[in-house]
Structure 1
Amino acid sequence: MRGFARHWPLVQAAAQSEIAAARFLQQHSKDLPQVLLKLPAKVKGRLFYNETVTGMNFGGSQMRMNAAIEQMLQNDAAGDRYCVQCVPVQQNFDTLQLDNPLLPADTKAFIWLGNNVTVPAHFDEASNIAVVVAGKRRFTLFPPEQVANLYIGPLDLTPAGQPVSMVNMLQPDLVAHPNYPQAYAAALSVELEPGDAIYIPTPWWHHVQSLSHFNVLVNYWWSDTYVGAALPFPMLLHALLSFKHMSEGQQHAWQQLLKHYLFAENGDPAAHLPAQAKGILGDMKPQLAQGIHQWLANQLK
């Protein structure tokens, strides 16, 4: 969506210069403590694992927002790069004017600031509108069907909560990841400038590369599903715990149940039931969702 936010005062400041955008943010900041991530020069700005995939290749420290922005503006002598991620706008920059006519007014906005940093391909559990407000960013999207060709890393040790592709998409190793060209062939890529926005549907994989010395992004997550629904990714982990070590016959049997109840491959699985008897298979009302959450909590104790 080219020019989606060109009228935002922050975008207009960025049109002058990256420094002007940084100063604008500092003026509107509540200057609260943040986690400033530091990426050593040798990792070339790629937020990723360490060499043994037992931890991360970056570290973090507490710093107030305005000082963190100042750190990003400096040309680090060692070549290290810095970023602050996923900061709630309302709590930290409540005077910024960031209207988004595509979403309800109460949809929460988050802001991401940093040097030229690369985030490996990952997915979000909600739909996403991302708005570039300073610097330039390149987004590369992969459809969910390409998951096997993206060589996804550990599910329970992740850089930022979601699993990421192990492929270095700027320098792919086709010996370690021979099927990646199939994902590349299916990819969509676009470069956005200040004021441009992109819609990223869930759960599409997306690789994000910041191309300028100082970059700012604002994003909005939202879901069209029932607001009280549990997030899908924890359910995937629980399903692995439940199904992965079953015998082949048991897995096949449960696969049929999942196809029937979850994906409705045979039509509405509750079509034969009276409306008042459908329970969880019917309309998800707040009271029912609360009861299910409580039942799950008791089962997992």
Structure 2
Amino acid sequence: MSYDLAALPSPAEVSGVTAENFAAKITDIYRPAVLRGFANHWPVVQAAKQSDSAAARLLQQHSKDTPQALLQLPASINGRLFYNDTLTGMNFSGRQTRMNAAIEQMLQGRHDSERYCIQCVSVAANFSDLSLDNPLLPADTKAFVWLGNSVTVPAHFDEASNIAVVVAGKRRFTLFPPEQVANLYIGPLDLTPAGQPVSMVNMLAPDLIAHPNYPKAYAVALSVELEPGDAIYIPTPWWHHVQSLSAFNALVNYWWSDTYVAGALPFPMLLHGLLSLKHMPVAQQQAWQQLLRHYLLAENGDPAAHLPQHAKGILGEMTPQLAHGIHQWLANQLK
């Protein structure tokens, strides 16, 4: 059987999306969605439609030329950001380089030579006068830029919702529902190529001896190739594998959340859960599962329904003041 990503069905393509109907058309559905031509009016996208190098030159013109961490990928790894053979480190290296010199290095790169990329740098800090309006999100939503040669990022998830906009070059996004975590063979949680855990499966050449359940994930995956100006909405925590397909690529993304209170992200909760529960005897683990299902997942209904409103405490409405108090309590407990 072939596991060609290009043969997979595409996420839904949604048109006519505005700030007013964004929730109804996109986020409430909680599935990836493609927004074709979302940023066709951006000057850098218009330059990219002429050529990748035109987009790169425009980025250099608007760059503050600040120092960056330039990742260098040896030719032998074919552009795949991943671990070394012993899982003790990464298969790439990095060095400090100014932005414009880094872009110049990328323009000189070839598919059969070393490849370079810069990941997740602030637009405000590096390209503050670049016109990158996003009418779907609040004006203060931070934007990040990703630049590089033809590089592949293994499947990973984000802790917040994501709108990713292809600015130059082409990219293929392949997406897996969160429930496929067991079939994606996730690598170490505390040693990662770029912050988030990644799938160990090489989806361009899957090893079904090492990862025999990957076909189950492939069977429900979605995949789409995007061109300059196209955008994709990726709900958290959907897994996504990203291939930059052109010699020079640029992407701008926006992360946001309408649900996390006071920056309380869920991944640290998972790590603390591992610290607290994983090494308990099985009977104790099962007992604590009952409490987690009751309080976190509300499997038995509202766990505080029997309490008057003033007595619900952290089981009631989560206000910023209450969230701050919880942060302080946790900080004291973890000392």
TM-score when normalising by structure 2: 0.89
2:65–2:126 CA contact under 8 A, matched in 1: yes
- Alignment-derived partner of residue 111 in structure 1: 145
Preserved contact between residue 261 and residue 323 of structure 2 (Cα < 8 Å): no
State the alpha-carbon separation in 2 of the partners of residues 282 and 141 from structure 1: 35
Q: Which amino acid aligns with 2:333?
A: Q
- Of the candidates 136, 142, 147, which is equivalent to residue 102 of structure 1? 136
CA-CA distance at 1:75 after TM superposition: 3.1
Using the TM superposition, give the Cα deviation of residue 286 of structure 1 relative to its aligned residue in structure 2, in angstroms: 1.1
* Structure 2 residue aligned with 1:200: 234
The question of whether the paired residues in 1 share the 8 Å contact of 2:109 and 2:116 is answered with no
Distance 1:73 1:33 in 2: 18
Return the match for 1:49 from 83, 91, 107. Answer: 83
Residues 272 and 236 of structure 1: is their aligned pair in 2 closer, same or farther, counting only changes over 3 Å? Answer: same
Work out whether 1:89 is the aligned partner of 2:127: no
Shift of 1:132: 0.2
Deviation at 1:76, TM superposition (A): 5.4
The reply to whether residue 129 of structure 1 matches residue 196 of structure 2 is no
Distance 1:76 1:169 in 2: 22
Contact 2:110-2:247 at 8 Å conserved across structures: no
Whole-Å separation in 1 of the counterparts to 2:147 and 2:185: 28
Map 1:73-222; keep pairs closer than 5 Å. Answer: 73-75=107-109, 79-222=113-256
2:265 aligned to 224, 231, 236, which one?
A: 231
Query: Which of the residues 88, 100, 105 maps onto 1:71?
Result: 105
What's the counterpart of residue 292 of structure 1?
A: 326
CA gap of 1:78–1:208, structure 2 versus 1, over 3 A, is closer
Separation (CA, whole Å) in 2 of partners of 1:118 and 1:274: 53
Residue identity in the other structure for 2:318: M
Q: Which residue of 1 aligns with 2:68?
A: 34
1:111 alignment partner, SS class: strand
Runs (5+) with no aligned partner, structure 1:
none
Q: Secondary structure at the match of 2:49?
A: helix
Tell me how many residue pairs correspond in the alignment: 301
Correspondent of 1:3 among 30, 37, 47 = 37
Give, in whole Å, the separation in 2 of the partners of 1:186 and 1:201.
Answer: 16
CA RMSD between the two structures: 1.0
**SS of structure 1 residue aligned to 2:294:** helix
Tell me, in whole angstroms, the C-alpha distance in 1 between the residues paired with 2:322 and 2:202.
44
Cα separation, partners in 2 of 1:229 and 1:62, compared to 1, 3 Å: closer
Give, in whole Å, the separation in 1 of the partners of 2:331 and 2:142.
27
The one-letter code of the counterpart of 1:101 is P
**Deviation digits for residues 215-266 of structure 1, max 9, x if unmatched?**
0000000011144041111110110011001111100110000000000000
Q: Does structure 1 retain, via aligned residues, the 8 Å contact 2:163–2:255?
A: yes
Contact 1:226-1:284 within 8 A present in 2 as well? no
Q: Scaled by the length of structure 1, what TM-score is found?
A: 0.98
Aligned partner letter, 1:177? H
- Cα separation, partners in 2 of 1:78 and 1:210, compared to 1, 3 Å: closer
Query: 1:229, 1:83 → 2: CA distance?
Result: 28
Question: Which whole-Å CA distance do the structure 2 matches of 1:208 and 1:202 have between them?
Answer: 15
